Amino acid sequence: MSTHPLHTLHERSFDHYRFVYPVLSRRSRGISLGVNLNPDKVCNFDCIYCQVDRTRQSETRFVELDALLSELAELLPVVSSEEIYASSKFRDTPPQLRRLNDIAFSGDGEPTTFRNFDTIMASCAELKQKLGLDEVKLVLITNASMFHRPHVQRGLEILDANQGEIWAKLDAGTADYFHRIERTPIPFAQILDNITAAARVRPLVIQSLFMRVSGESPPIAELEAFCERLQEILAAGGKLSLVQIYTIARQPAESFVAPLADAEVDAIAQLVRERVGIEVAPFYGSGD
């Protein structure tokens, strides 16, 4: 039996499925049924901490909508009926985590870059309703880079109407640190503007990953700037329901990246609570 905690094992396939994969999610506190909208492993960010293995090319390069929906229709009952816990991968799932929490759009890249994003949100929401799983959330895990596009905004509205949550990435307080971590040409200001505009419409969850880079923890000035960016979102009329402060739990893209100690994660979480005054949830590299 593997010695790795279950939350460190996020394989993008389950038996013969190509687009849908169940994982035990530490942040969902249960089973999350992932939907991979980027099987080609193309992303508009190149994060130094990315835990997707891009050294191996996927056998599947393009999303096949009918196949994806078929896989989702097959796996939803397997998880909701608890049949999944008879499999070797999920046999050791703790009793308190044996629940289907959400259908999560994440996978091997930025899901909102998928050209038919609004169509697939509508199709998955319709399937969830058809199966009588209204209480199951639809969770979008995103870097917020495409929120300004009309078809993405339509997709977000579909999420709003179907027990949806949007988890928007914000890992920095300054543009310099943002580009050092995310390695993207997309301006930091665009990310902040997109998060603020989306948060004015519905509450967002902010997901913030911090780590050691070349042996150094995030500078206190950067963490304070991060808190200031959150304060600015709130001051502009944005709503934030939660900030997730976490660190890496699986093999990152770069060898100079390492997880923070649990105490460091707790210290950042406490700083955000004190400076911003909103709910914060810490998650650790070694598990909850």
In the chain, the number of structural domains is 1
Question: Does some domain include residue 238?
Answer: yes
CATH number at residue 183: 3.20.20.70
Question: Does some domain include residue 18?
Answer: yes
Question: Does some domain include residue 19?
Answer: yes
Question: Does some domain include residue 57?
Answer: yes
Q: Which domain holds residue 76?
A: 6-282
Question: Does some domain include residue 131?
Answer: yes
Mean pLDDT computed over 31-49: 93
Q: Shortest CA distance to 171 belongs to which of 213, 114, 109, 111?
A: 213
Highest mean pLDDT (candidates 20-24, 107-111, 150-154) = 150-154
Amino acid occupying residue 284:
Y
Helix spans in the chain (H): 65-80, 117-130, 150-160, 175-182, 188-201, 220-235, 262-276
CA–CA distance, 13 with 282 (Å, rounded to integer): 28
CA–CA distance, 268 with 266 (Å, rounded to integer): 6
pLDDT at 1 over 90: no
Q: Which residues pair with 166 in a beta bridge?
A: 140
Instruction: Quickly state the pLDDT bin for 177 (edges 50, 70, 90).
Output: very high
Question: Does some domain include residue 10?
Answer: yes
Mean pLDDT computed over 194-210: 98
Six-digit token pair at 137?
């959330």
Question: Does some domain include residue 165?
Answer: yes
Question: Does some domain include residue 241?
Answer: yes
